[in-house]
Amino acid sequence: MQVKILGEGLISLLLAADCGVCQHPLEPSNITFVCIDCWSKIKWLKDPYCSKCSRPLPSTFKSIPTFLCPECRRQNVYFNRAFIPTLYEGVMKKVIHLLKYNKKTGVMRTLEKIMRSYFNCLNSSFPSLDLVVPIPLHRKKLRERGFNQAELIAKVVAKHLQVRLTKGNLKRTKATITQTSLDRKERKRNLREAFTVKNRDEFQAKNVLLVDDVYTTGTTIKEAAKVLKEARVKDVYVFALARAPQP
């Protein structure tokens, strides 16, 4: 009897679920967080984009597969390539906001679906990896938010690619102020010495995939990649769920 009541409760709970983006009721069979309509509006990152940082480029660049954007040509970038499935706008922006600022960890079901589709298409061209490392949050921020969104994403990535996830070795030592209000120079200054590696032996000669939620200007990821290289990591790759169209 109790099982039946529990079952019914679960069904009504599922029936009552609304799309986290447009608030329309979800189909009972839809166990993700967004409806089919919103899912179809997610913008996938399409060619052409920079072969290093995945920055979207004008369509005239389509014929040059190894093209680097001006920024990647100008500065030292310490990672080999950023793998990014979607553009950070519209539905995707809303979904990531729900996770980060409204603490709706249920959206991970939708984000998992995105990652699965992406990795299934990519499988053959993915580099061989030893470790998956989420971009850490400073402990103060972690306390405020209660979870590190990069770590939730990194867990899915590590499971899917069957690579070991390691957290706590790359540490955030400075409680940096939110990057969004700063210009490029200030962002760099803000992040100086923001990361440190606790145990260099764990990273030495390893191929590492750094994971974050969004690639905005790349300042945070580039700084973390630099610190990993200084800790003698062999190659650093990056995975982020979404790419801001213009840094």
Distance CA 137, CA 143 (A): 9
What would the x/- binding string for Zn ion be over residues 50 to 89, using CB under 5 A?
x-xx-x-------------x--x-----------------
Least distance in angstroms from the C-beta of 53 to Zn ion: 3
10 lies in the binding site for Zn ion (CB under 5 A): no
How many residues bind to Zn ion according to rule CB under 5 A? 11
Distance CA 50, CA 52 (A): 5
225 lies in the binding site for Zn ion (CB under 5 A): no
CB 116 within 8 A of CB 160: yes
* Complex with Zn ion: residue 69 or 241, whichever CB lies closer: 69
Least distance in angstroms from the C-beta of 91 to Zn ion: 8
Q: Strand 131-134 vs strand 164-165: parallel, antiparallel, or unpaired? A: parallel
36 lies in the binding site for Zn ion (CB under 5 A): no
CB 245 within 8 A of CB 88: yes
Least distance in angstroms from the C-beta of 217 to Zn ion: 11
Q: Which residues bind Zn ion (CB under 5 A)?
A: 19, 21-22, 35, 38, 50, 52-53, 55, 69, 72
